[in-house]
């Protein structure tokens, strides 16, 4: 049956997150009934009381998953179980009821099957799936809510950045902080993203696309680039900041680490200081910097700027390693390269 809601021209470039499919999956939680009323329903506004806890106390979590049209015309979901696991961790950190992995997987899979006609086929496009949960209980008082809505929506998307896979310019943020040790940095919750907006807006005013976050205590050590994990390729190894509770345990980050191990490329998890980047750049040992995340997959960084000047990375061009990783991951996602690690769930 053809979709009742008009499908945008999927063969044309798609703005990220602008269009939404005609259905959504949803389920309700109460203390008395646990999870219930699981269904796939038309995509429509959610009715909330003005006193809903999500609006006042920020009990919200979400995930981002991609679905692809495979080469054999089937549908593939990338790292579905890993996203279900991370959603659980975010729920636990924000005192929200855990969505069982089976329920999470079934909700995402059923929605994607239902709205499969919305999956674009262009090389840089996909169906971006957003599972989310919000606290719906109406009350004013600082405690975990007792009623929640879990829902899944989907959006056909193109490249995350308008520049596509071209290197981006990043501002090193050394005043504002996104997260601190002991805080919410490792949870995929809305509070982390609103905390990033002011620095991002200031970076835009300076002519940069995003910010490179530094640690909240000293602002000497890099943590994330925008909303993505960050990797640095030095001349003799690749490094990425350690997971200390201040940054997200990225699914694409995990893919990159596994692929680097497959390719016998030395890679370590360790603190990386801004001063180390500067000195490596001066010596010619700073070869590549790139972000990793579900939206962009791999985002090369061509220039870093801060109060004392700028650093051009790899002559402002996409590096060989970033290009190789992007080709490998997107090839696996679309069924064009062997899925050695079992990352794709076929529907």
Task: Kindly compute the dihedral angle of the four CA atoms of residues 17, 341, 269, 302, in this order, to the nearest 10 degrees.
Answer: -40
Given a cut of 80, is residue 346 above it in pLDDT? Answer: yes
Q: What is the pLDDT of residue 17?
A: 87
Report yes or no: 262 and 340 within 8 Å, Cβ to Cβ: yes
Q: How far is CA 281 from the centre of its chain?
A: 28
Q: Is the dihedral of CA 100, 77, 228, 336 positive or negative?
A: positive
Cα separation, 189 vs 192, whole angstroms: 6
Given a cut of 90, is residue 172 above it in pLDDT? Answer: yes
Given a cut of 70, is residue 323 above it in pLDDT? Answer: yes
CATH of span 168-333: 3.20.10.10
Query: Which pLDDT band, with edges at 50, 70 and 90, does 244 fall under?
Result: very high
Residue range 70-79, pLDDT digits in tens = 988 899 999 9
Given a cut of 80, is residue 164 above it in pLDDT? Answer: no
Report yes or no: 98 and 131 within 8 Å, Cβ to Cβ: no
Report yes or no: 203 and 226 within 8 Å, Cβ to Cβ: no
23-158: CATH class: alpha beta
Cα separation, 9 vs 156, whole angstroms: 10
Query: Which pLDDT band, with edges at 50, 70 and 90, does 6 fall under?
Result: confident
Please give the full DSSP string across 173-194, using - where no structure is assigned: E-SS-S--TTSSTTS-BHHHHH
Q: What is the pLDDT of residue 252?
A: 97
Residues in contact with 285: Cβ distance below 8 Å, sequence separation at least 6, in sequence order = 234, 235, 236
Q: What is the pTM of this model?
A: 0.94
Q: What is the pLDDT of residue 267?
A: 98
Q: What is the pLDDT of residue 77?
A: 98
User: What are the C-alpha distances in Å from 6 to residues 117, 127, 151, 281, 326?
Assistant: 11, 16, 22, 50, 32
How does DSSP classify residue 318? -
Mean predicted confidence (pLDDT) in 121-144: 94
Two tokens at 23? 């259905």
Given a cut of 80, is residue 163 above it in pLDDT? Answer: no
User: What are the C-alpha distances in Å from 120 to residues 123, 125, 287?
Assistant: 9, 6, 34
User: CATH 3.30.470.10 occupies which residues in the chain?
Assistant: 23-158
User: CATH 3.20.10.10 occupies which residues in the chain?
Assistant: 168-333
Mean predicted confidence (pLDDT) in 159-171: 82
Mean predicted confidence (pLDDT) in 327-343: 96
Q: What is the pLDDT of residue 11?
A: 65
Given a cut of 60, is residue 1 above it in pLDDT? Answer: no
Q: What are phi and psi of 296, to 5 degrees?
A: -95, -15
Query: Which pLDDT band, with edges at 50, 70 and 90, does 237 fall under?
Result: very high
Given a cut of 90, is residue 106 above it in pLDDT? Answer: yes
Query: Which pLDDT band, with edges at 50, 70 and 90, does 3 fall under?
Result: low
Strands (E), the chain: 23-30, 34-42, 60-62, 65-69, 75-78, 126-135, 147-157, 168-173, 210-214, 222-225, 228-234, 238-240, 267-269, 286-293, 297-306, 309-312, 344-346
Q: What is the pLDDT of residue 118?
A: 94
56 three-state secondary structure? helix
Given a cut of 70, is residue 345 above it in pLDDT? Answer: yes
CB-count exposure of residue 207 (10 Å: 0-12, 13-18, 19+): exposed
Mean pLDDT of the chain, nearest integer = 94
């Amino acid at each position: 049956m053809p979709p009742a809601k008009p499908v945008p021209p999927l063969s044309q470039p798609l703005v990220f997150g602008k269009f939404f499919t005609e259905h959504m999956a949803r389920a309700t939680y109460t203390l008395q009934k646990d999870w219930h009323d699981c269904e796939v329903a038309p995509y429509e506004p959610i009715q909330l009381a003005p006193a809903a806890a999500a609006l006042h106390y920020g009990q919200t979590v979400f995930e981002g998953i991609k679905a692809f049209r495979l080469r054999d015309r089937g549908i593939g979901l990338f790292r579905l179980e890993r996203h279900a696991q991370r959603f659980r961790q975010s729920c636990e950190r924000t005192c929200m009821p855990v969505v069982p992995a089976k329920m999470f997987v079934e909700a995402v899979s059923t929605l994607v099957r239902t709205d499969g006609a919305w999956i674009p086929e262009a090389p840089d496009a996909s169906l971006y799936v957003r599972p989310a949960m919000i606290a719906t209980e109406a009350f004013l008082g600082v405690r975990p809510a007792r009623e929640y809505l879990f829902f899944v929506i989907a959006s056909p998307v193109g490249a995350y950045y308008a520049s596509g896979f071209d290197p981006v310019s990043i501002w090193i943020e050394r005043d504002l902080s996104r997260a601190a040790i002991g805080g919410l940095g490792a949870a995929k919750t809305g509070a982390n993203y609103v905390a990033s907006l002011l620095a991002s807006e200031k970076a835009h005013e300076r002519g940069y696309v995003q910010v490179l976050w530094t640690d909240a205590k000293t602002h000497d050590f890099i943590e994330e680039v925008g909303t993505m994990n960050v990797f640095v390729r030095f001349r003799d190894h690749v490094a990425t900041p350690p997971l200390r509770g201040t940054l997200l345990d990225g699914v694409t980050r995990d893919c990159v680490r596994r692929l680097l191990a497959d390719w016998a490329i030395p890679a370590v998890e360790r603190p990386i200081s801004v001063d180390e980047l500067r000195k490596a750049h001066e010596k010619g040992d700073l070869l590549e910097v790139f972000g990793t995340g579900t939206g962009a997959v791999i985002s090369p960084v061509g220039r870093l700027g801060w109060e004392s000047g700028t650093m051009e990375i790899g002559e402002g061009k996409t590096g060989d390693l970033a290009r190789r990783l992007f080709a490998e991951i997107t090839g696996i996602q679309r069924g064009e390269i062997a899925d050695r690690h079992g990352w794709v769930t076929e529907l």
